[in-house]
Amino acid sequence: MGRDMVLRRIPFTPMVKEILPFIDFEKARNTKQRTIASTMRRQFPNHHPHELRYTFITRCKECGVNPEVVMLWDGHEADKDVKASRVDRGYTDFSEEYQLKAVISETY
């Protein structure tokens, strides 16, 4: 689509481990972006493929991955005028379960 593509090597977080047997990596590798978008539109009409980016960033942070490493994987840069990156300011939607665990671990 006229955009430069940067290939990145991104590991799976531990949360993916239990579903790995259900992923056909060869098929995934050969799937076109438009196919993914149209399939998502049919299966989840109120969602967009870009939301998978938010999910990935959130799960990495929930697993304790260093935010600078997450920035490297997702292509974000640190903002020179702000101490936090965009990763810390908007691409995260922590699950209720994660938030409750954070409260419990801070309380006890």
Distance CA 6, CA 77 (A): 14
Its domain, for residue 59, covers 16-107
Give me 16's structure tokens. Answer: 């993916």
Higher pLDDT, 99 or 29: 29
Residue 9 domain flag: no
Residue 11 domain flag: no
Residue 1 domain flag: no
pLDDT attached to residue 52 = 84
Residue 6 domain flag: no
Residue 10 domain flag: no
How many structural domains are present in the chain?
1
Average pLDDT in the 36-46 region? 92
Report the chain's mean pLDDT, rounded to a whole number. Answer: 76
Give me 55's structure tokens. Answer: 């999910």
pTM: 0.57
Residue type at 23 in one-letter notation: I
pLDDT band at residue 108 using 50, 70 and 90 as cut-offs: very low
